[in-house]
Chains A and B, each alone.
Chain A
Amino acid sequence: MDRRMERLGCAALALLGAAGSIAFAFFLPDPPEAPRWMGAGAQTPQVGGTFVFHHEANVRSLDPHVAYDELSGMAIRLMFDGLLDYDHESNLVPSLAEAMPTVSEDGRTFRFRLRRGVRFHAMAGHAEGRELVAEDVRWSLLRLMSQDVGSPGYPFYASIEGADAYHEGNADDVAGIRVVDRYTIELQLKEADQTFLNAMAMPFAYPVPRENYEHWGDEVKFHPVGTGPFVFEAWERGVQLTFVRNERYWRDKPGPERMLYLENIGRELAAQRFRNGDIDSIHRQSPSDYRFFKTSEAWRPYMVEEPRGSTYGLGFNCEMAPFDDVHVRRAIAFALDREGWSRARAGRLLPASQLLPPSIPGYDPELPTRQVFDLERAREEMRLAGHPNGLPEPITVWITGQDDTSRQYGELLQSDLARIGIDVRLRFVSFAVYLTESGKPNTVPAFFTGWNLDFPDPSNFLFLFDQKSIHPEHSENRAFYRNPEVDRLLAEGKSERDRERRLGLYRQANEIVARDAPWAFLYYTLTMELWQPHVRNYDPHPVWSEDYREVWLDLPRERVARSLAGVGGPVPARFYPMGALR
C-alpha cells in the first residue's frame, strides 16, 4: 500500500511539473505588440538621454589596431575617427583629413592635410586632451605595422613603401611615411593602388595618441582614447560598456548624453527587451521574432531591411575531385533553388547570382553568366561532366555551427542536389576549424562560406579568387581557384586610375568567376534593423554595421529611468549620476 501511495505521489508530482512548464511556456504575458514608448515630438536634434544597444557576444578589444570584428567595431567607431570615412552612399569622404588627399601623377603618393584644432579625449597627462597632429598619424601607422602588435590589418597597408622591411624588423622606420609639417603627412606606395584610400578609412588606420599607449602598455585595449564623438567611460567586462558625450567634438556634437553597450545579450532576449522598451535598437532576430516584426504594422515605420555588403555561397575546392571539373561546379550552381531557400528562411535571403552584392559597384543584374536556378541546365552540365545519372560517390560539405539554422541550410542543399543525383553528407564543424582547415590546400572539398566586405570596392570581393590569395595556410582563396585571366584583370584593376575603366576590369572578372563557379553563389543577407520611435536620425550605414554615431533621442524621459533600473540588474551608481536620470 505504501508503495502504491509513493508511486501515486510521484506521478502527481511529475504531472504537476509538466503542467507547470507548459503553463510557463504558454501563459506568460507576451511583451507588448506595439512600441511601448513614443517620442516627445521634438523636431530638432536634442541633447541628452541614454542610448542602449547590444550585441550577442563579448567585446574583445577596444584597440583599433587589433580589433577586427563587428562587435568591437561598434564600440570603436563611437570613440575614434579616421582620416577618411564613408557617407551613406558608400563614397569616401574626408573626416579628420581636411579634404580628400592629393594624389601624385603616378598614383603612388598620397598627401593628407589634417583638420586643425581636433583634440583627443582627456588622457593621462592631458586632462584637456591634446591636438591631433600629423605625427600621431605616422606613429599610429607604425604601431599598426609592427610585428609585435600583430595587427590583422597589416596586409592592407603592406603596399606602403618600406612596410615589409619595418614589419620584419629590418628597419626602424617606414620609408613611405613622411611627416611634411605639423598638419601634413605624405604616404608613398610601392605601386599605384586604388584601394589604398579604402584602407585609410578602415578602423586600423584610426589615429591614436602615443602617450596613452605608453602610459597603459598592454592594458591599452581597456583604455581607449580617440578623437570621436563619444568618450570611453567604463567597461564592466562581459556585461556592458559606457561612453559619454564628447563635449569638445570637432564636428556636430552628438545627441545622447550616454551610450550604453550591453554585451552578451542573445537575440531572443534582446528582442524581448526591445519590445519592452529597454533596448533602443536591435539588428539580429530569431526566426520567430523576425516573423513577428516582419508582419507587425506598429513597428513598420521603425524598421529597415536591406541587403548588406556580404555574399554567401557554397565554395568548392577546385583542386579536389569532383570539383576540379568546372561542369560539376556549374551543375551545382544551376541546381540550387535560391528562391526556395529564401522561402524556407521566411524571405530573409536575397538570392545571389554573382559574387558582387547589389550595393557594390560592378554588380550587374543582367550579368550574362549569372548563376540562376535552372534544372535543365544543371542536368546538361552533369552530362557534360560525364555523370548524366549523378555522382557515384556522395560529396562531403562542411558547414559551420551545429544549430537548427545550419542544419536547415544543409537539408536544403541535400534536397536540391538530390535532384541531379548528388548525395550530400554534411560535416558540422566550428567556425575556427572551418577557418583553419579550409585555408589549407586539398583539405576541405566543399563548404558553406561567405564574405563580408572590409570596404565597398569590388576588389575586396574579387581578391578571394586571386592566385595571390593562395598560401600553404590561411588562404583567402579557399576555393583554390586559379585563373591567370582573372589574376591579370585584378592586377590591372588595382593600378587603373580611371574609375570607369577600372570598374570595367572588375566587371569582367566578376563575370568569369560567375561562369567558372568556384563558388555556387547562394544569397546576400538582408539585415533587419529596428529602433525605438524616440530614436531619431538613425539611418543604417551601408558600410559600417550598427553605426549609432548620428542618433539623437526624442526622449520620453520616464523611459530612461525605467530602462536603466531594468538593465543588467542593480545599476552601479558610478555609471549613472543622478543628473542623467532626470
Chain B
Amino acid sequence: MDPRAWRRFRKNKGALFGGVLVLFVTLTAMFGPLLAPHDPNEQFRDTLIADDGTLAGIGQIAGHLLGADGIGRDHLSRLLHGGSISMLVAYFATALAIAIGTFAGITAGYFGGFVDTLWMRGVDLLLSLPFLLVAIALVRVIDDPALWVLVLMMALLSWTTLARVTRAKTMQVRELEFIQAARALGMSHTRILFRHVLPNVLGPIIVLGTTLVARMILFESALSFLGLGVQPPQASWGSMLQEGQALLDATPRLMLLPAALITMTVFGFNLLGEGLRDAFDPKD
C-alpha cells in the first residue's frame, strides 16, 4: 500500500474523527453485551404499574440508567445488545459482499470476454431490482428468517458497485508491465490474480467497503424497522426504532437513542470512507 496514503489520511481531521467513531462503536459492539447491566430480554413488568394502580411513566423506572421500554426491558442493555447485533450483521454482510464483489470484479476485469459478460449482466440484473422491495419479498418468502439468512441476503443484494469498480481498476492493472512480466514468466492465473492484481485494486475496495458498512447498518435498520429483519425478542437498533415509535411522544428517548446511534455510526463510517478515498486517490 502507498505509504503516502497514511500520511494524507492522518492530516484529514474529519477522517480521523470518523475513524474514532467507528472504533468506538465497534468496540462497544464487541464488549457491550458484557457491560450490559441486565438481560436485554428480561421484562421488569412489575415496575410498570404500582400496586395501587398508578401508571409509572414509561421509562421512569428506578434502578435502570436509561429506563425501560414499554414492556419493562432495560433500555441500556437493549441498546448495547442491539448494537452488537446490528454491527455483527453489518460487518458480516459487508465482508461477504466484499468477497463476492471483489472476486466478481477481478475475474471479470482480468479475463474479460465471457466471464466478464456473465458477471456484468448479473450486476445489471441486480441493479435493475428495487433493493428494499426485493429484500422484503425475500424475507416474506423465507419463513422465519434466521440471522445468517438476513446477512446472506443483504450481501447478495449489495456486491454490485464493488464488482464494477474493482473490474474497472483491474482492467487498468491488467495492462501494466509487471502483469505482462508475470504472465511471461508462466505464473498461474490464480497466482497473478491474488498476488499481483488484488493488492493493486485494494484501495477502492477498502474505501467502498467502509461506506458499505454504513449502508448495511441502514439496510438492517430499515428491514428491522419494518419487522422483517431481526426477529423478536432479539433487539437491534432498527427493531428498537420500531418498538419505540408508538411511544414517541410519551418517551422520545426510546426511539431517539437508537436513532442517534444509527446516525452516529453511519456518519462515522461515511467520514472514514471519504477520508480513505482522499488518502488513496490524491488526484482531486
Give the interface of A toward B (CB within 8 A).
Answer: 3, 7, 18, 25-26, 286-288, 291-292, 294-295, 337, 340-344, 346-347, 396, 402-405, 407-408, 410-412, 414-415, 425-428
Contact = CB atoms under 8 A, between A and B. Distances in A.
A415 B246 contact: no
A516 to B, nearest CB: 28
Contact of B41 (A7, A346, A404, A415): A415
A428 B71 CA distance: 19
Contact of A414 (B45, B57, B226, B232): B232
Nearest to B231: A426
A405 B246 CA distance: 9
Interface in B24-40: none
A415 B246 CA distance: 21
Given A404-B243, A415-B41, A427-B143, 4 more contacts: A7-B14, A404-B246, A411-B41, A412-B43
Interface in B46-71: 46, 48-49, 53, 55, 57-58, 70-71
Contacts of B71: 344, 408, 411-412
B249 interface: yes
User: Which secondary structure dominates where chain B touches chain A?
Assistant: loop
A408 B245 CA distance: 13
5 closest Cβ contacts across the A-B interface?
Answer: A288-B250, A340-B45, A344-B71, A343-B48, A402-B227
B245 A346 contact: no
Contacts of B55: 291, 294-295, 346-347
Nearest to B42: A415
A235 B260 CA distance: 45
13 contacts: A288-B246, A288-B247, A291-B55, A292-B250, A294-B55, A343-B49, A344-B43, A344-B45, A346-B55, A347-B49, A411-B71, A411-B232, A414-B41
A7 B249 CA distance: 33
A402 B243 contact: no
B161 interface: no
Contacts of A292: 250
B146 to A, nearest CB: 10
Contacts of B252: 25-26
B144 interface: yes
Contact of B70 (A25, A287, A396): A287
Given A343-B46, A407-B243, A408-B243, A396 B144 contact: yes
A337 B250 contact: no
Contacts of B233: 410-411, 414-415
A408 B49 contact: no
A160 B248 CA distance: 54
Contacts of A26: 252
Contacts of B14: 7
A258 B71 CA distance: 43
A407 B43 contact: no
Interface of B: 14, 41-43, 45-46, 48-49, 53, 55, 57-58, 70-72, 143-144, 226-227, 231-233, 239, 242-243, 245-250, 252, 263, 284
A12 B162 CA distance: 30
B122 to A, nearest CB: 32
Contacts of A407: 227, 232, 239, 242-243
Contacts of B46: 340, 343
B109 to A, nearest CB: 29
Contacts, number: 90
Which of B43, B48, B226 has most chain A Cβ within 10 Å? B43
Nearest to B233: A411
B144 A415 contact: no
Contacts of A346: 48-49, 55
A82 B232 CA distance: 47
Nearest to A399: B232
Contacts of A411: 41, 43, 71, 232-233
Contact of B250 (A291, A396, A403, A427): A291
Contact of A344 (B41, B48, B248, B250): B48
Most buried by A among B41, B45, B46: B45
B254 to A, nearest CB: 10
Contact of A427 (B72, B144, B242, B248): B144
Contacts of B226: 402
B152 to A, nearest CB: 19
Which of B239, B248, B249 neighbours the largest number of chain A CB atoms within 10 Å of its CB? Answer: B249
Nearest to B255: A25
A60 to B, nearest CB: 26
Contacts of A403: 227, 246
A291 B48 CA distance: 12
Contacts of B242: 404, 407
A375 to B, nearest CB: 14
Given A294-B55, A414-B233, A428 B250 contact: no
Given A347-B49, A415-B41, A410 B246 contact: no
Contacts of A414: 41, 232-233
B67 to A, nearest CB: 15
A20 to B, nearest CB: 15
Contacts of B245: 404
- Residue with the greatest number of chain A CB neighbours at <10 A, chosen from B143, B226, B231, B233: B233
Contacts of B144: 396, 425, 427
A428 B72 CA distance: 22
B70 A408 contact: yes
B227 A428 contact: yes
A343 B231 contact: no
Contacts of A342: 49
B243 A25 contact: no
A52 B239 CA distance: 37
Contacts of A425: 144, 231
B53 A347 contact: yes
Contacts of A344: 43, 45, 48, 70-72
A412 B53 CA distance: 20
B232 A426 contact: yes
Nearest to B244: A404
Contacts of B72: 343-344
B45 A337 contact: yes
A287 B43 contact: no
Contacts of A396: 144
A414 B183 CA distance: 61
A408 B57 CA distance: 18
